[in-house]
Amino acid sequence: MTSVALLHRITDFANRPDPYPLYAELRRTPVVRDEAGPYLVSTYWEIRSLLHDPRISSDARNLTAKAARATGQDQDPDLPPNFLRLDPPEHDRLRRLALAPFGPPDTPRRVYDMHGELTDVVAGLIDGCRGKEQIDLVDDISYPFPVTMICRLLGVPREDEKLFHEWADTIAAGPDPVVTDEEREAKLDSVRRARRELAGYLAGLIEERRRSPRDDMLSAMAAGHGADGRMSPVEAITTSALLLVAGHETTVNLITNGMLTLLRNPDVLQRLRAEPDLAAPLVEELLRFEPPVQMLPQRTTLADIDIAGTIIPKGASVYLMLASGSRDPQRFTDADRFIPDRADNQHLGFGHGLHACFGAPLARLEAQLALIALVRRLDAPRLVEDPPPYRPNAVLRGPRHLPIAIGGIKD
């Protein structure tokens, strides 16, 4: 089978419910080149080495023009990239400024101190399901929970969620691989339009915070100072847009994939109900077994790189297939088996290296608390359909809906 045929199948919506057999085929050759241009890296150690390799760039401006067009990574001339799409030193400065109001060293207790608030929010969402015989986990719990929390952290009015929901969905689908010129142009147009509309919305909020700061991250980005100075207005907009989208998209999938996996493994569900301390290792296993981020398609080589005997030339587009690497049997015993208390679980679910997931501590805590509450309070939960309907997004993979029949809500 050619690499392009396999990539088409991996990104084909028909295979969204179970792409893992396709990853197993891909791993037969650790590095393959797709006919459209990108190199696909699918094995654990090769992916991890490239995540730490300074010769791999996250800045699409380093792609050749041909590679950028072929992979749908042309730059928006009106908005600069956010720090996720930059390299040091620009990346490091903006990441430090964004991290200051969120985590160590400046605010080391920020996520820890949210424990009670997170518990109350998820409890309230579950209480709202009383009287129902069937819930949609996505609409009722796993979407509103992280959206509520990222809105509170940033200082975005929760009642504006309807405004930014469609923008966020469109932007989150931006990294999805594209195949035809028509798909590429349509995607570029929709993503740029969504980015501009979201930028305009956030610019108004940031200007308000600059004039009247509050205890939120928008205020810190708009008016904060530090050793790195302060963000420019445009940097504050692109950074807050990134955090708003990334702050809930991956967590929605993590919680939904988690509950789906538990319902498919009722013995593990019963174990978590009896042993809530199992939640921490269980979430790590979910990040390995059913990761919300399947691949990183936006990487570029700054030099010729020899990886697993294949030379990836300078300026090439590289896809790091994280979900494949986390199921690599050369790294993980029983890699296709869900083991909730798996030892030595250094998965690739949150990436590695300088671009490791900014919000990982919050996402972990949200998933742990949500799954503990769900298995404890949902009476006799069972899947209505399996597989459930999936979102079209191939990079951020998860069910669009997860109907669950229940016997009621426990106190």
Q: Per-residue pLDDT for 77 more than 70? A: no
- Give the CATH number of the domain where residue 18 resides: 1.10.630.10
* Confidence (pLDDT) at 178: 60
296, 16 in Cβ contact below 8 A? no
Residue 77: count of CB within 10 angstroms of its CB = 7
| Residue-wise pLDDT tens digits, 276-330 | 999 999 999 999 999 999 999 889 999 999 999 999 999 999 999 999 999 999 9
In Å, how far are 116, 204, 207 from 220, measured between CA atoms?
23, 15, 12
126, two tokens? 């579950």
* Confidence (pLDDT) at 181: 66
**Residue 143 binned pLDDT confidence (cut-offs 50, 70, 90):** very high
* Confidence (pLDDT) at 36: 66
24, 327 in Cβ contact below 8 A? yes
Sheet of strand 403-405, all strands in order from the earlier edge strand to the far edge: 134-136, 403-405, 382-383
Q: How far does Cα 357 stand from its chain's mean position?
A: 8
**Residue 275 binned pLDDT confidence (cut-offs 50, 70, 90):** very high
- What percentage of the chain exceeds 70 in pLDDT? 94
CA-atom Rg of the chain in angstroms: 21
| Residue-wise pLDDT tens digits, 114-138 | 999 999 999 999 999 999 999 999 9
Prediction pTM value: 0.94
In Å, how far are 118, 144, 229 from 121, measured between CA atoms?
5, 9, 35
Residues in the chain: 411
* Confidence (pLDDT) at 17: 97
**How far is 274 from 96, CA to CA, in rounded Å?**
40
- DSSP lists the bridge partners of residue 41 as 31, 320
44, two tokens? 């654990």
**How far is 392 from 406, CA to CA, in rounded Å?**
27
* Confidence (pLDDT) at 179: 57
Q: Per-residue pLDDT for 47 more than 60? A: yes
393, two tokens? 């997004």
What ranges make up the beta strands (E) of 181-313? 296-301, 305-307, 310-312
**Residue 248 binned pLDDT confidence (cut-offs 50, 70, 90):** confident
| Residue-wise pLDDT tens digits, 179-233 | 566 776 777 788 889 999 999 999 999 999 999 999 899 999 888 777 788 899 9
| Residue-wise pLDDT tens digits, 331-387 | 999 999 999 999 999 999 999 999 999 899 999 999 999 999 999 999 999 999 999
* Confidence (pLDDT) at 298: 82
Least confident of 97-101, 106-110, 173-177, 255-259: 173-177
**How far is 104 from 141, CA to CA, in rounded Å?**
29
Q: Per-residue pLDDT for 240 more than 90? A: yes
**How far is 329 from 243, CA to CA, in rounded Å?**
34
| Residue-wise pLDDT tens digits, 147-181 | 999 999 999 998 998 888 888 888 887 777 765 66
Query: Which range of residues forms the domain containing residue 208?
Result: 3-409
* Confidence (pLDDT) at 271: 98
* Confidence (pLDDT) at 74: 59
Number of domains in the chain: 1
